[in-house]
Amino acid sequence: MSEPLHYVPAGELARRVRAREVSAREVLRATLDRIAAVDPRLGAFLHVDAGGAAAQAAAVDDAIARRSDPGPLAGVPIALKDVLVTGGVPTTAGSRILEGWVPPASYSATVVERLRAAGAVLVGKLNLDEFAMGSSNENSAFRPVRNPWDLERVPGGSSGGAAAAVAAGLCAAALGTDTGGSIRQPASLCGVVGLKPTYGRVSRHGVIAFASSLDQVGPLARSVADAALVLEVIAGFDPLDSTSVAQPPPSLAGELEHGARGLTIGRPRELELPGVDPEVTAAVDAALDVLVHLGATVTDVSLPHATYALPTYYLIAPAEASSNLARYDGVRYGLRAGPPGQGLHDMYSRTRGSGFGAEVKRRIMLGTFALRSGYYDAYYKKAQQVRALIAADYERAFAEVDLIATPTSPTAAFRLGEKTQDPVTMYLADVFTLGAPLAGLPGISVPCGFTPEGLPVGLQLLARALDEATLVRAAAAFERATPHGGRRPPEANLTGGAP
């Protein structure tokens, strides 16, 4: 293997660490060196937990020395979108309102605990759009993240830091969250694999909420196999999350080799929209040809309500967000702004006025409006009814097909600042990804080509609820048959050095 350690796949790293070919400490050192060399240009990390990571790496090495198994992610450096609560390690949600907040040592997200228990080394917290609201990572309260393929472009969002870090080899895999496409869209824009599990597959305990009925944690990785490996570790019922499904974690490793033969893939006619870049359409068409070549059948399906996903989402998600973000009031933790003694209302308005960014405030206002007495039936309730229709569309479609394919994003990565003045254009970037969370379905974005400018394009596949296996199976077959997943961003962008 000529591959530098920082680009070695997670599964292979764990194998080498368990086989004592490399120590977890050595892997961590290489990772921290890579972060130090590259991240000043990307801005992917909000916090590097060198101390905590060193302790975890040492524990993995010690376990191996004692001949006990440190777990399937032994020594694998993984970074976490900063909406995942990490006990004793700063957790900000990309917001000033939580700047400096350190959760109690005993309180970590279930997914964080599961990664630790599997031997992963958690290297730090990743940048994101504030409270996961955004599609470009420009809504981070701290700094934007740059796309490793072109530093003048956005990495996508809201898990932009996660996608950029994985693409540039700053970690072997990352955990993101997906509410309307926040794992799949940045994965697409950064040329990595992003997997949004079925709603309820992965615990939300300790996941800072954006929209509770949509939020789901999932992996970003440089290969389908690595994404599957991480998902197997983090998935499964959690009594601390009442919306967690009572199912054992999916067994995915075996699916990787099954190939695409016999699968039926649907292309939704309603999502052949104007606004999609011809280059993106071409890449997706080519990808489907590859899948046909691999033995899959491609057919048209109908999702009659698919175009209502955008307005539906932008009622439900802000409504839930306005409620979930009510707790940031300056009373118990995080920012408290303004001079004391000016009264309660003053404290609230100064704290929330200065602690939240423009996009977060916009969504809180949208959501507050949608839930107002007298408007609830017309907006939130109506949106839930449309949501049920959208879900029923998918249910009908999945009676005929195993997978539904679309572009992940209508465009490749756009320029920083290009869409920040027009929130609605920004919202349109989510048009293909909103259906899956509204219907609670799993989806994956897998690299499927490049624009002539060398920007990655992603293919999105959706599957039936709890059928991550078929997603992984088709995506892995596609990945093996094409070179796209193996391409890395220009090293010149990252370190200024030769590739």
Bridge partner residues of 266 (DSSP): 299, 404
Catalytic residue among 136, 182, 188, 223: 182
Q: Where are the alpha helices (DSSP H) in 66-200?
A: 110-117, 160-167, 184-190
Segment 372 to 391, residues that bind other proteins, using CB under 8 A:
372-373, 376, 380
Q: How far is the CB of 42 from other proteins (least distance, A)?
A: 25
- The closest alpha carbon to 365, from 339, 326, 419, belongs to 326
Using CB under 8 A, which of the segments 30-38, 61-69, 182-190, 371-379 binds other proteins? 371-379
DSSP 83: T
Look up residue 11 and give its amino acid: G
CB nearer to other proteins: pick between 65 and 102: 102
CB nearer to other proteins: pick between 217 and 296: 217
Using CB under 8 A, which of the segments 38-46, 116-124, 161-169, 328-336 binds other proteins? 328-336
Q: How far is the CB of 335 from other proteins (least distance, A)?
A: 13
Look up residue 291 and give its amino acid: L
CB nearer to other proteins: pick between 124 and 206: 206
Active site residue 182: yes
Residue 7 in contact with other proteins, rule: CB under 8 A:
no
Residue 63: CB partners within 8 Å, gap ≥ 6?
A: 69, 70, 74, 119
Q: How far is the CB of 49 from other proteins (least distance, A)?
A: 17
Q: How much is the CA Rg of the chain, to the nearest whole Å?
A: 21
Active site residue 354: no
Owner of token pair 């939704």: 268
The angle at the Cα of 444, spanning 439 to 445, to the nearest 5 degrees, equals 125
Site map for other proteins, 71-110, x if CB under 8 A?
------------xxx-----x-x----x--x-xx--x-x-
Exactly one of 54, 212, 237, 361 binds other proteins (CB under 8 A); that residue is 212
Q: How far is the CB of 121 from other proteins (least distance, A)?
A: 22
CB nearer to other proteins: pick between 292 and 344: 344
Exactly one of 226, 320, 393, 468 binds other proteins (CB under 8 A); that residue is 320
Q: How far is the CB of 243 from other proteins (least distance, A)?
A: 6
Owner of token pair 């679309």: 406
Compute CA 28 distance to the chain's CA centroid, rounded to the nearest angstrom.
Answer: 23
Determine how many CB atoms are found less than 10 A away from the CB of residue 92: 25
CB nearer to other proteins: pick between 103 and 134: 103
Rounded Cα distance, 268 and 248, in Å:
31
- The closest alpha carbon to 428, from 269, 275, 270, belongs to 275
Q: How far is the CB of 164 from other proteins (least distance, A)?
A: 23
Exactly one of 237, 243, 311, 350 binds other proteins (CB under 8 A); that residue is 243
Residue 242 in contact with other proteins, rule: CB under 8 A:
yes
Determine how many CB atoms are found less than 10 A away from the CB of residue 326: 11
Residue 486 in contact with other proteins, rule: CB under 8 A:
no
Q: What is the 3-state secondary structure (H, E, C) of 411-468?
A: CCCCECCCCCCCHHHHHHCCCCCCHHHHHCCCEEEEEEEECCCCCEEEEEEEECCCCH
- For the purposes of burial, counting CB atoms within 10 Å of the CB of 341, is it exposed (0-12), middle (13-18) or buried (19 or more)? exposed
Residue 125: CB partners within 8 Å, gap ≥ 6?
A: 45, 46, 47, 49, 79, 80, 81, 82, 84, 86, 89, 90, 91, 92
Q: How far is the CB of 371 from other proteins (least distance, A)?
A: 4
Active site residue 135: no
Q: How far is the CB of 229 from other proteins (least distance, A)?
A: 24
Compute CA 354 distance to the chain's CA centroid, rounded to the nearest angstrom.
Answer: 27
Rounded Cα distance, 250 and 190, in Å:
26
CB nearer to other proteins: pick between 145 and 319: 319
Look up residue 64 and give its amino acid: I
Using CB under 8 A, which of the segments 167-175, 249-257, 329-337, 426-434 binds other proteins? 329-337
Using CB under 8 A, which of the segments 6-14, 199-207, 401-409, 474-482 binds other proteins? 199-207
482 and 238 Cβ atoms separated by less than 8 Å: no
Exactly one of 12, 15, 348, 361 binds other proteins (CB under 8 A); that residue is 348
Q: Could you list the residues that contact other proteins (CB under 8 A)? A: 83-85, 91, 93, 98, 101, 103-104, 107, 109, 204-209, 211-213, 239-243, 319-320, 322-323, 325-327, 329, 331-333, 340-341, 344, 348, 368, 371-373, 376, 380
Catalytic residue positions, numbered: 81, 158, 182
